[in-house]
């Protein structure tokens, strides 16, 4: 499941393949972006923005993608057989030594570079948790501005903090012993600050890690696995032994995992 750390790692992997390279060929699924317009241009930068990514070209265009739940980027050698069927390819970029394919991305759009700053989805993003320079005060203000939301749903709002997804949502709430169904208005200031700080720490740790598996238990001797609660329904809590519970929550209907003893209502 792509979250902010995944997008940063993807961008880091794509940069040495694409930046500075001329686009020899480009294709997109129909209907889709007019990606043929970048043929002959060179890639100037690849920038992650929360769960979004921008590939900029020297002809004044930018490719904006959002992987949502199932999107992924692959790299192939020219002529190499793809691991996914071609009809799933949303965008294909060919440079002298590589073929880069974006599969299953719900969002893939080409725009003028000058229009990026006016894009509604990008303009509304909150502080980016995967960046070293992070405005925690602004994140606090934005979270407090949603008093009627359950805290788990508020954490997923990319207008509050960019980059957090369902895995980190569950893990952060467990680490700080906050019940997912508590409304933001009922969460203390200290707990709100702790949630923000822990989310930032976990995102940064996973951005900087070379491990393919996401880890949220790093540095805690009580943990014997990579995550505390996510995906562990009905298995014993790593802290208290109580069975982990799961229930779908919020307008996004995402599964929330929590420990009823460690995170009491």
Identify the residue whose tokens are 């759009």.
Answer: 109
Instruction: Residue 177: name the closest of 163, 195, 165, 160 by CA.
Output: 195
Q: Kindly calculate the radius of gyration of the chain based on its CA atoms and give it in whole angstroms.
A: 20
Burial 182-198 (b: 16+ CB within 10 A, else e): bebeebeeebbbbbbeb
Alpha helices in 74-231 (DSSP H): 120-123, 136-144, 151-156, 166-175, 189-208
Catalytic residue selected from 29, 51, 90, 169: 51
83 included as an active-site residue:
no
Distance from C-alpha of 12 to C-alpha of 206, rounded to nearest angstrom: 13
Distance from C-alpha of 2 to C-alpha of 190, rounded to nearest angstrom: 29
138 included as an active-site residue:
no
Catalytic residue selected from 22, 68, 254, 260: 254
Distance from C-alpha of 153 to C-alpha of 148, rounded to nearest angstrom: 10
Supply 228's token pair: 């505390």
Alpha carbon separation from 194 to 80, 96, 145, 159, 230 (Å, rounded): 47, 47, 17, 19, 19
Q: In angstroms, how far is CA 138 from the centroid of its own chain?
A: 19
85 included as an active-site residue:
no
Max CA pair span of the chain: 59
Supply 42's token pair: 């060179």
As to burial, measured by CB atoms within 10 angstroms (0-12 exposed, 13-18 middle, 19+ buried), residue 151 is buried
Looking at the annotation, which residues are catalytic? 2-3, 51, 254
């Amino acid at each position: 499941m792509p979250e902010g750390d995944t997008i940063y790692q993807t961008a880091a992997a794509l940069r040495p393949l694409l930046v500075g390279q001329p686009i020899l060929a480009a294709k997109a699924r129909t209907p889709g972006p007019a990606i043929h317009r970048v043929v002959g241009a060179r890639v100037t930068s690849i920038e992650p923005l929360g769960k979004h990514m921008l590939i900029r070209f020297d002809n004044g265009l930018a490719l904006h993608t959002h992987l949502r739940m199932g999107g992924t980027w692959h790299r192939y050698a020219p002529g190499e057989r793809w691991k996914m069927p071609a009809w799933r390819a949303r965008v294909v970029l060919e440079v002298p030594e590589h073929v880069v394919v974006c599969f299953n991305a719900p969002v893939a759009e080409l725009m003028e570079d000058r229009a990026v700053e006016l894009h509604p989805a990008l303009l509304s993003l909150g502080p980016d948790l995967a960046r070293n320079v992070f405005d925690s005060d602004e994140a606090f203000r934005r979270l407090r501005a949603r008093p009627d939301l359950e805290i788990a749903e508020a954490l997923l709002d990319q207008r509050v903090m960019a980059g957090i997804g369902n895995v980190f949502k569950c893990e952060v709430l467990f680490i700080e012993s906050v019940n997912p169904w508590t409304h933001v208005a009922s969460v203390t200031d200290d707990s709100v600050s702790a949630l923000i700080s822990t989310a930032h720490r976990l995102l940064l740790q996973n951005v900087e890690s070379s491990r393919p598996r996401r880890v949220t238990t790093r540095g805690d001797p009580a943990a014997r696995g990579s995550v505390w609660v996510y995906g562990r329904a009905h298995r014993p809590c790593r802290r208290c032994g109580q069975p982990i519970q799961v229930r779908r929550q919020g307008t996004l209907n995402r599964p929330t995992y929590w420990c009823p003893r460690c995170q009491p209502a």
